[in-house]
Structures are given as structure tokens and as C-alpha cells.
Amino acid sequence: MKVLVLGPGGREHALVRALVADPLVQEVHAAPGNAGIAGEVTVHPVDANDPAVVTELAQRLALDLVVIGPEAPLANGVADALQEAGIPVFGPTRAAAELEASKAFAKQVMAAAGVPTAMARVATTDAEADEALCTFGAPYVVKDDGLAAGKGVVVTSDLEEARAHASACFAAGGTVVIEEYLDGPEVSLFVLSDGRTVLPLAPAQDFKRLSDGDEGPNTGGMGAYSPLAWAPPGLVDEVIERVARPVIDEMAHRGTPFAGVLYCGLALTSRGMRVIEFNARFGDPETQAVLARLTTPLGGVLLAAAQGRLETIDQLNWSPKTAVAVVLASENYPDTPVTGRRVKGLGKAAKIDGASVLHAGTVLQDGKVVSSGGRVLAVVGLGASLDEARATAYESISLIELEGGHHRTDIALRAARGEIEVTGPTAASL
């Protein structure tokens, strides 16, 4: 099998690694990839967001499968073009990807499917936003309705900050979704689908805030870990029955079947499980942690989803080890990241037993790796326990040098200390 992975980030590097390890996969290509991916497979410096360009590349390479990583190619209809050309693609059509591209649309689907989620209002003016903010009260949750690379959400107790974010979205021609605040720990669950059948991956937890203690602005994600020892028994089954399957069924009913991976962002609140958001692709950096533990070969699973035969895939197998991913970010991320700086120590970091370095915002310049984005890379540590995995990840990332670079030091720390507690109804009691 010959596979192409679209995208330039850490999620795509993790997908490439998993596909290379699949004995049924003979060739892996990436477009456009990054410095780390280029060191492992053939990369193609093309516009991965252009449906015609991607289709031409797939035909020229005689590919058996295209795996779409980021949201932009989905929103641009790359999956549609590949399907029309008869090329198997793992990733939803543009219409199905509206589950991520529009939070208001996702709320409509959830309402129709009876999925538990936060109460919300859509606002298109400052007056409407003010009314919604006053209705729900603090903490205020204001979401840009469209795609915002994981940075379009503001959660704050400052009313003026909430108003300012809404006004900025309106000024850019957008709308906002204002929601009630959901308490409780958050969980990320990826669910594979071929439009009918659903197959869950292992749950993870990610860290959206920039700084230790969940302080600072929202980012695309500063770290993640899997599995979740504190998660209620039966949580995955509950998500499948109450969230994933109803949504997949509703999308099929609407004539826009969803084939790909549905990212379910969840809050385990005092009133039970609630959906925070959907993404129409693998999340970053949860993918790095989750795929580090997957022992089932990935290529055949993704091809089965693309070809509408996911029911032929047995339950996925997982390593008993724990994975912790820690993101190294550029100076001034997530505002205006400083790029073009040399990244050193990568070889030493990769030699730490149980550690792997997955590139995100990197490029090669004169044979040297330099930063090219806000999140530069993620180090994944595998260990027999959460403490061991954390120690491995942090030992490895300490060997990497990037001027102005920074990372959180508390990824998975509360879980390792046993400080996360689910106080609401669990799956067993629902």
C-alpha cells in the first residue's frame, strides 16, 4: 500500500511514523511535511490545501490512500476532489467537515441527534453578544464560529475581555457562539468512522492553556497524555452511544455522511458528560500521545474507513504503557511567534530510551533544522507509569535548544498526583 499524508505538523509526523511501522504499507509520502518528516519519508512541497494539486499528486504517485491531517484541506474540499477521482481518502467531505468549520452547525447537529452539550447562543452583533454573556454569566465562553487553528476560544471571568473577543470576531466578518461554562475535567476521544460504523481510539487529555497551572491564553495545545486512569468505567462506551453514533447517524440522515475521524472534546461535568466541541480530524498534540500506544497497524484501519468497510476491523489493540507528549513552542507563541531560529540537540533528545521527537513547525535551511511555526515540536515519553512517562519526556525535551523556546512543566502532573476527580454522574450510573 502507498499512502500520502497531507499536512505540515506534529500530528502528521505521528501519522507518518505509525504508517511507516505498518508492514502492509510499502511507501509513505507527505505533502508538504516538515524537517522531521523529510528525514523519514519522501516529501512533496506542494499546496496541500489545493484540491486539484493534491489530486494530481495522488494520481501521479498511484496512491492507494490519502490521509488528511489538518482542517484547512478538509474545508477546501480536498477529500471531495479525491473521492471524485476514485482515490480512497481518509477525511470527511467539505459538507461533513462543517462539524468543525462551524460551531453553530455542530450545535444544530447535536440538538437534532440529542447529544448532551452546553447551552449556547449564536451572536452576530455586539448587542446580541452582550445579551448572551449576561444570560450565561461568568466564566464567559466565547467561540469564533469558524476555523481558528485552536485559538478562537476565550474562556474568561473578565466580561470586557469576553466582549472584546466577540467584537474582534464580528470585525473580521464572523459570528460567535457564546456558551455556558462547563465544569469538570476534559477528555479528548477520537472516533473513526466510515459513515456508518464507528471505532474509538484510546481517550487522552490535552492542555490548551499556554502556561503552567492552566494559566495564559488558549493555544493549539501544549501537551497531552494517554490513557486516563481516572476516567469513569464505561466512558468510551457512553461517548459512542450518546455522542458519536447519534452524530454519525444524523450526518448520514442529512445526506452528508461523515467518513474520517471525529474528535470529541468532552467535559465530565457535575451534571454528567457534555460535548465541548467537535473536530473533523485528528487533534494535535493528542494524536502524538495516542498513536504512541497503538499496536494495531494503522494503515489497514484507515483504508477500511476510507472504503466503507470499517465493520471488518476488530477492536484496536493498545500498549499498556503510558504516553506523555510535551510541546516546545517558539518565543511569543501564540501571538506572533518568532521563527527562523536554529533547533539544536535533536539527536541527543531522540536517544533517550522511550522518547520520540515529533516535528511540527520546522524546516531545513542549509541542512540545519530551524523553527517555522508557533509549536515547533513535541517530545513523547513512553513509560510503565505516568511518572515514568513524564520523566522520559522531560529528560528528552531538556536536551533540545531553541532560543526563546518554552514549554509547560506540568503536563499530566495533576493526574500523576491523583488530583483529578470526576464528581458528576459516571457512565455506570447513567
Helix ranges (H only) for 254-285 are none
The DSSP call for residue 232 is P
Domain assignment of residue 38, yes or no: yes
pLDDT recorded at residue 12: 98
Within 8 A by CB and 6+ apart from 227, the residues are 202, 203, 204, 293, 318, 322
Collapse the DSSP code of 150 into the 3-class scheme (helix H, G, I; strand E, B; otherwise coil) and give the result: coil
- Residue 190 to residue 383: CA distance in whole angstroms: 22
pLDDT higher than 60, residue 151: no
Domain assignment of residue 246, yes or no: no
Domain stop point among 159, 179, 199: 179
Q: What is the mean pLDDT of residues 303-331?
A: 97
27, burial (CB in 10 Å: exposed 0-12, middle 13-18, buried 19+): middle
- Residue 363 to residue 341: CA distance in whole angstroms: 10
**CA 363 → CA 5, 358, 369, distances in Å?**
17, 13, 6
User: Per the omega criterion (within 30 degrees of 0), is the bond before 232 cis?
Assistant: no
Strands (E), 204-303: 205-206, 209-211, 215-218, 223-226, 259-269, 272-279
- Residue 263 to residue 131: CA distance in whole angstroms: 30
Taking all residues of the chain, what is their mean pLDDT, rounded to a whole number?
94
pLDDT higher than 60, residue 241: yes
Query: Is the same domain home to 81 and 137?
Result: no
Q: What is the mean pLDDT of residues 53-65?
A: 98
Query: Is the same domain home to 11 and 85?
Result: yes
Q: What is the mean pLDDT of residues 287-301?
A: 98
For 26-45, the pLDDT digits (tens) are: 999 999 999 999 999 999 99
- Residue 217 to residue 321: CA distance in whole angstroms: 31
Collapse the DSSP code of 56 into the 3-class scheme (helix H, G, I; strand E, B; otherwise coil) and give the result: helix
Domain assignment of residue 214, yes or no: no
Domain assignment of residue 166, yes or no: yes
User: Per the omega criterion (within 30 degrees of 0), is the bond before 139 cis?
Assistant: yes
Domain stop point among 110, 145, 179: 179
Query: What is the domain count for the chain?
Result: 2
Domain assignment of residue 136, yes or no: yes
Domain assignment of residue 266, yes or no: no
pLDDT higher than 80, residue 423: no
Q: What is the mean pLDDT of residues 304-332?
A: 97
pLDDT higher than 60, residue 409: yes
pLDDT higher than 70, residue 149: no
- Residue 390 to residue 413: CA distance in whole angstroms: 8
Collapse the DSSP code of 255 into the 3-class scheme (helix H, G, I; strand E, B; otherwise coil) and give the result: coil
- Residue 37 to residue 20: CA distance in whole angstroms: 11
Domain stop point among 135, 164, 179: 179
- How sure is the predictor about 425, in pLDDT bands with cuts at 50, 70 and 90? low
- Residue 83 to residue 282: CA distance in whole angstroms: 20
Q: What's the CATH number where 11 sits?
A: 3.40.50.20
| pTM for this predicted structure | 0.92
Query: Is the same domain home to 6 and 61?
Result: yes
pLDDT higher than 90, residue 9: yes
- Residue 327 to residue 408: CA distance in whole angstroms: 8
Q: What is the mean pLDDT of residues 265-278?
A: 93
Hunting for cell 505516568 — which residue is that? 386
Q: Can you spell out the DSSP letters for 157-200?
A: S-HHHHHHHHHHHHHTT--EEEE----S-EEEEEEEEESS-EEE
Q: Can you spell out the DSSP letters for 340-398?
A: --BEE-HHHHHTSTTEEEEESSEEEETTEEEE-SSEEEEEEEEESSHHHHHHHHHHHHT
Higher-pLDDT residue of 264 and 173 is 264
Q: What's the CATH number where 125 sits?
A: 3.30.1490.20
CB atoms within 10 A of CB 211: 15
Domain assignment of residue 191, yes or no: no
| Domain extent at residue 146 | 121-179
User: Per the omega criterion (within 30 degrees of 0), is the bond before 285 cis?
Assistant: yes
Domain assignment of residue 140, yes or no: yes
Helix ranges (H only) for 245-310 are 245-253, 286-293, 298-306
- How sure is the predictor about 297, in pLDDT bands with cuts at 50, 70 and 90? very high
For 62-109, the pLDDT digits (tens) are: 999 999 999 999 999 999 999 999 999 999 999 999 999 888 899 999
Q: What is the mean pLDDT of residues 142-147?
A: 82
C-alpha cell at 136: 450565561
pLDDT higher than 60, residue 252: yes
Query: Is the same domain home to 27 and 71?
Result: yes
Higher-pLDDT residue of 124 and 192 is 192
pLDDT recorded at residue 429: 37
Query: Is the same domain home to 84 and 126?
Result: no
Q: What is the mean pLDDT of residues 382-386?
A: 98
pLDDT recorded at residue 428: 40
